[in-house]
Amino acid sequence: MKNFNKVSVTGTERVELHDKLNLTGAEISVNVLPAGAGVPFIHTHKQNEEIYIVLEGKGYMTLDDEKIEITANDYIRVSPATKRQISASYDTAIKYLCIQVKENSLENYTATDGVVLE
């Protein structure tokens, strides 16, 4: 496999990056919901932790029995079994990333996984 891949993602269509980038440790999707719209179902995961990153706009997430407001620059970890649903605000679109990773899969990171060369 190539040592790296790069793609540019613009526009408002949902884009899934797993295959485009040859990802092996995550799936990342780029999502836009127009004002007043929401994902039309509640879901959970079997294995995967999700991290939602709000890039632009604002909206709401329902997480089990809580409904929270979310806005640009918010980062939200959601455990696999949590029932989740995300919506844009009534008057503002939301652009967000959704990252799926296998829960408890990270063994080392930064100082214990990185090797500084010079």
- Nearest approach, Cβ of 15 to a second copy (angstroms)? 9
Residue 111 binds a second copy (CB under 8 A): no
Quote the CA–CA distance of 22 and 117 in Å, as a whole number.
26
Residues that bind a second copy (rule: CB under 8 A) add up to a total of 69
* Residues 21-60, interacting with a second copy (CB under 8 A): 21-30, 41-49, 51, 53, 55
- CB of 47 closer than 8 Å to CB of 63: no
Is residue 97 helix, strand or coil? strand
* Residues 55-94, interacting with a second copy (CB under 8 A): 55, 63-64, 68, 70-71, 73-79, 81-83
Give one word for 57, left, alpha or beta, with left for phi > 0 and alpha for psi -120 to 50.
Answer: left
* Residues 5-24, interacting with a second copy (CB under 8 A): 5-10, 16-18, 21-24
